[in-house]
Structure 1
Amino acid sequence: MHVTFHGATREVTGSFHIITTDEERILLDCGLFQGRRKEAEAKNRVLPVDPAAITNIVLSHAHLDHSGRIPMLTKDGFCGHIYCTRATARACEYLLRDSAQIQEGDASYLNYKTARNFLSKLKTGGKGSISREEMAEIKSILKAGDHRLNSKEILEILHEHQLEVVEPLYTIEEAEDALQYFEGIPYNHEESIGKGMTCTFYDAGHILGSAMAVISKTCNGRTQNIMFSGDLGRFNKPIIQDPTLEFAEEHRHIDLLIMESTYGDRHHEPVKDMKPMLKKVLQETFDRGGSVIIPAFAFGRTQEVIYYLHELYLAGEVPRVPVYVDSPLATNMTHVFGEHPETYDEETHVTFLENGLNPFNFAHLNFVQSVEESMALNRDTRSHIVLAGSGMCEGGRVLHHLRHKIHDERNTILIVGYMGANTFGRQIQEKAEAYETDGRKGQAPLVRFYNKEYPLRAKVVTLGGFSGHGDRDELMRVLKESNLDIKKIALVHGEEDQTLAFADHLREEGFEVNVPYQGQTMYVP
């Protein structure tokens, strides 16, 4: 067997690896690249292989940096199966539709800007500035009466004048078509995925339905095992099970482990400290009369924060201010969590289910449905908590809340997830950290979004322990406390400094390690 690494190599997003045998090509994940918009767009547009040449897909979990390019494959010739856990298949129903809606929306807006700029230059002959009245006339052509874009008119203008038309990576219809290829299978169940090849999923403890996949190939009485870790979670966190440490006898001997390394050189706060630390942030913010804005991934992080808030509110440990989940996708994903209590850990059963309580619903929790509700919330001056997407502040409703709250030192921006390199969330983190290190002296740093600069006066607090990724010690725990016998490790899904540092640590521990580059192929003897 050969493994070729096409994505998430010395970077975090865009997971995409191919196992090749004489008869089969099995794709491990099919994720979107995320980061600088132009760079991500260029990477996402080009698939490294012909979709028709792929036999089947093994999907570790539903996050878009692992699943987000699947509709591109299914629309361009892929005709196999997508194997994943049942919870992952259910989650992808919402995540891929939402991704397609964003793709369509971004393409429509870019086409609108092209048409608007063209008509503006046409009005002025390319000289001077356009008047408000003239711009209003142009907008009346390109927009419908309710401020929606007039896509038909925009495309007609672009085609007529041979202007560039931006197409979405895939449409909502194409995302929905992709869902028919999914095959949800249980954990610990061996499934045939090719000639002499099987896949068995083990719980990865990262998010609901996340899995480590053991791909076994048997030929002439000899079996080879490749394990793909997907994203590995933390131990002793609430809601879902810990990462698996006990594997079936036939899967213990691993010829190649393809392992994530997101936090390969970092240590998180202990899980037991998460609730007290969250409590402290909330109390300090409410004492200042402020609100807490939490950029949160719709799937996983939002539900975890809801869980902790529910516990704090039940115990009366913090003021019971209103909590708003301002993300239609997060609302849907919370319902998915509610549909799969069989995946919950013992703590969740004891604390909530055995007392007839839903972990993800309580009296002060509100799910914001409409844009109008979200806008009204922006104007609310009372203390409250908002969880909104996107998790890395690259778009979504969280930006509207930041626009209204980021300039006020009473408020807190609470970071509870990984902020990728070059994302707006990472920029907020780094500028706030520098400002705090300097004692918050002088002018507050400026951040630019929505074509305007805002002073970053709000407190920015990062609680790394909320991460869904295990830190270095937890990754090592999977390697050293499990019953696995691992011949070789290939590290993926980590920024280069994290991955290389983790590789050095693994070598010191006696493991044979490779850090592949994009496009590199490894032979599995």
Structure 2
Amino acid sequence: MVEVGFFGAAGEVTGSMHMLDTGVDKILLDCGMFQGRRKESREKNENFLINRSEITTMVLSHAHIDHSGRIPLLTKEGFSGRIVTTRPTKDALDYMLLDSGHIQESDAQYLNYKALRAFLYQAEQSKTKQQISNKEKAGIKKLLKKSPHELNVGAIAALHKEHGLGMVTPLYTQEEALESLSFIDGYPFGSEVTIGKGTTVKFYVAGHILGSAFSLITVKPEHGGKPLKILFTGDVGRFGKPILKDPTLEFDEEDRDIDLMIIESTYGDREHAPVADLAGSLKETLTRTIERGGSLLIPSFAFGRTQELIYILHQLYDSGTVPKVPIYVDSPLASNITKVFGEHPETYDKETHKTFLEKGINPFYFKDIKFVESVEESMRVTQDDTPHIVISASGMCEAGRILHHLRYKIHNPKHTILIVGYMASHTLGRRIEELGLQRKQASGKAPEVKILGKAYPLRAHVEKLGGFSAHADCHELMQVVAESNLRVKKIAVVHGEAEQSAAFAQRLNENGYDAFVPKCGDVFKLA
């Protein structure tokens, strides 16, 4: 009996994780991190619904953290198999997982700092029987920091222990992330890779981000008979986007009969703006902002979205149709991932080869762009009041340097916050998006958003360019199913908020397919 279990991104967007049980092997499909409310995400990320020591192999669709981010938790708790993915994805993970480990450590350190600082403020207040002064607060902060930008981690740990305070521990460390990389093997698209007894995977281009793949898994019966075919899409890309090849529609003849397709539905009931409008829309937003004397802040995923923005800005600057203000890519991870893009031109589409490579031009580097590395340089950019563009992580505004750019500029109406991707429920990015769009329809006092524990009025303009999404919309998802040469028996709709998954499953059923939306923990029996 072959079974598929759904253990993450079933009825929700993040935390992609499914498992194929062939009766001999247990093969994990993705091992993604849940993202959203801190407490809820922590609980979900720590709580594997699968015995990690029983998993024999893992297949990874792509390197985004909501698909790969729990790999270090997998490898440090009993998993002894291999993680199979594409070569570009393996190269990207060298940076993505280490960065995730750094974020886990930094978040834990900051929460410990805040808790201890509040405890010491309260203790000092109790002694003096009055509100403590700013000078006394500054003295406590100085005790807990080595510099304005660096916490004194050792002193914080010692004081937590001295006062009997519980400490927040990171989900995993950079060292554990580094150790997990030794489990990962990268393979070319189109090659058949053995992942279990009588079981193989072949990767087809998914077009979502660099290295993203449709994973075509074949399970051959032990005693002969027709093989079972499972197609896991991971995240599906858009058609006609710059840089990368489009999602595959032509599959090898032996891979056309699919017993179960597991397909994402992030935008299962939504339409995107046309891809062709991306440059024009960005040009209009940038021009309006610069004319106001403001800056353009773009929260962006370091992997994929940032490189696409750089590519389009490169074209706009070359055309001479926009004001050439400085562009700051303020994310060390984005800088490293951009290097990975440069190492894999075999994944580029024909337009990128024609526009840049055949002319000997690197699509991702030009004289007006600056990759910011140090924290000190990043802080100087946050305080720069002259017009500029900042592209900074994290894409959902949950962590990273974008938070500092926002807190310095979110209160000023001359600036623009440009939303260029999906913002999950309960993230700061979603709140900014929703409040910003509400402000356009109402007057009165500016709404407030909380950034790093402090409330700020949202007076900056908030714009959204949906065409930048790396996810297929409802029509493009349908295109993969209906216009490919596949013959699909059954479709499981995952990786979408409940209403999006339900709507896309309904669309599929209305078009003659047999689709369902699994809940977390559901198991589907194939044979």
* Shorter-chain TM-score tier: over 0.9
Moved more, 276-285 or 461-470: 276-285
Q: Map of 1:2-401 to 2, 5 A cutoff?
A: 2-123=3-124, 129-132=131-134, 135-144=137-146, 148-219=150-221, 220-221=223-224, 222-401=226-405
Shift of 1:320: 1.2
Separation in 1, partners of 2:313, 2:386: 18
CA positional deviation for 1:446: 2.2
Give the letter for the 1:193 counterpart: I
Q: Which whole-Å CA distance do the structure 1 matches of 2:438 and 2:382 have between them?
A: 28
CA distance in 1, matches of 2:275, 2:155: 54
Other-structure match for 2:515? 513
Letter in 2 for 1:58: V
- Structure 1 stretch displaced more, 114-123 or 189-198: 114-123
Alignment partner of 1:435 is 2:439: yes
Of 502-511 and 126-135, more deviation after overlay is shown by: 126-135
SS at structure 1 position matched to 2:414: coil
**Bigger shift: 161-170 or 278-287?**
161-170
Partner of 2:446: 444
Partner of 2:470: 468
Deviates more, 1:310-319 or 1:202-211: 310-319
The aligned amino acid for 1:319 is P
Q: CA-to-partner distance for each residue in 1:154-185, whole Å, 9 max, x for gaps?
A: 33343455432221111111100000011000
Contact 2:149 2:375 in 1 (8 A): no
Matched position secondary structure for 2:440:
helix
User: Shift in Å at residue 136 of structure 1?
Assistant: 4.7
SS state of the match for residue 78, structure 1? coil
Residues of 2 paired with 1:47 and 1:213: CA distance?
23
| Residue type of the alignment partner of 2:367 | A
Q: CA 1:46–1:130 in structure 2 vs 1: closer, same or farther (change >3 Å)?
A: farther
Q: Which among 445, 449, 455 is matched to residue 457 of structure 2?
A: 455
Distance 2:428 2:391 in 1: 17
Code of the residue aligned with 2:499 in structure 1: it is D
Q: Alpha-carbon deviations, 1:422-481, whole Å to 9, x = none?
A: 11111111111111123xx22222222233332222211111110000001100110111
Change in 2 beyond 3 A, CA 1:148/1:281: closer
Code of the residue aligned with 1:200 in structure 2: it is K
Secondary structure at the counterpart of residue 11 of structure 2: coil
- Counterparts of 1:349 and 1:176 in 2: how far apart (Å)? 34
Render the CA deviation track for 1:300-337: whole Å, top value 9, x for unaligned: 00000100000111111111111110111111111111
1:139 Cα deviation from its structure 2 partner:
3.9
Counterpart Cα distance in 2 of 1:137 and 1:508: 66
Q: Secondary structure at the residue paired with 1:408?
A: coil
Q: Contact 2:144–2:155 at 8 Å: present in 1 too? A: yes
Q: Which amino acid aligns with 1:373?
A: E
Q: Distance in 1 between matches of 2:240 and 2:145?
A: 52
Tell me which amino acid in the other structure corresponds to 2:370: N
Q: Using the alignment, how far apart are the partners of 1:122 and 1:453 within structure 2? A: 25
Separation (CA, whole Å) in 2 of partners of 1:271 and 1:8: 27
Q: Deviations over 1:361-414 (max 9, x none)?
A: 111111111112111112222211110111011121112111222222222111
Aligned partner letter, 2:332: P
Q: Secondary structure at the match of 1:34?
A: coil
Q: Aligned partners of 1:119, 1:442: CA distance in 2, in Å?
A: 39
Q: Deviations over 1:259-281 (max 9, x none)?
A: 00000001101111111111111
Q: Kindly indicate whether the alpha-carbon contact (under 8 Å) linking 2:231 and 2:261 is maintained by their aligned counterparts in 1.
A: yes
Q: Distance in 1 between matches of 2:415 and 2:161?
A: 47
**2 CA distance for matches of 1:145 and 1:310?**
37
Partners of 2:313 and 2:148 in 1: how far apart? 38
Identity of aligned residues (%): 56
Q: Which residue of 2 aligns with 1:484?
A: 486
Unaligned runs of 5+ in 2: none
Cα separation, 2, equivalents of 1:243 and 1:104: 36
SS at match of 1:144: strand
Give the RMSD, CA atoms, in angstroms: 1.6
SS for the counterpart of 2:219 is: strand
Alignment check: 8 A CA contact 2:418 2:465 kept: yes
Hey, what's the Cα distance between the residues in 2 that align with 1:429 and 1:472?
21
Q: How many residues align?
A: 523
How far is the alpha carbon of 1:125 from its aligned partner?
Answer: 5.1
The one-letter amino acid of 2:463's match is V
Q: Deviations over 1:124-173 (max 9, x none)?
A: 55875445565455445433367633333333343455432221111111
> Which one is further off, 220-229 or 139-148?
139-148
Distance 1:323 1:112 in 2: 33
**Counterpart amino acid of 1:252?**
R
Secondary structure class of the residue paired with 2:227: strand
CA distance in 2, matches of 1:223, 1:399: 50
CA pair 349-517 structure 1, distance change in 2 beyond 3 A: same
The change in CA–CA distance for 1:151 and 1:403 in structure 2 (over 3 A counts) is closer
In structure 1, distance between residues paired with 2:414 and 2:148: 36
More off after superposition, 24-33 vs 392-401: 392-401
My pick for the range that moved more, 298-307 or 317-326, is 317-326
Task: List alignment gaps of at least 5 residues for structure 1.
Answer: none
TM-score (norm 2): 0.96
How far, CA to CA, are the matches of 2:130 and 2:168 in structure 1?
28
Is 2:104–2:171's contact at 8 Å kept on the other side of the alignment? Answer: yes
Note if contact 2:3-2:22 (Cα within 8 Å) is conserved in structure 1: yes
Which has the larger displacement, 138-147 or 17-26? 138-147
Q: Matched residues in 2 for 1:277 and 1:150: separation?
A: 45
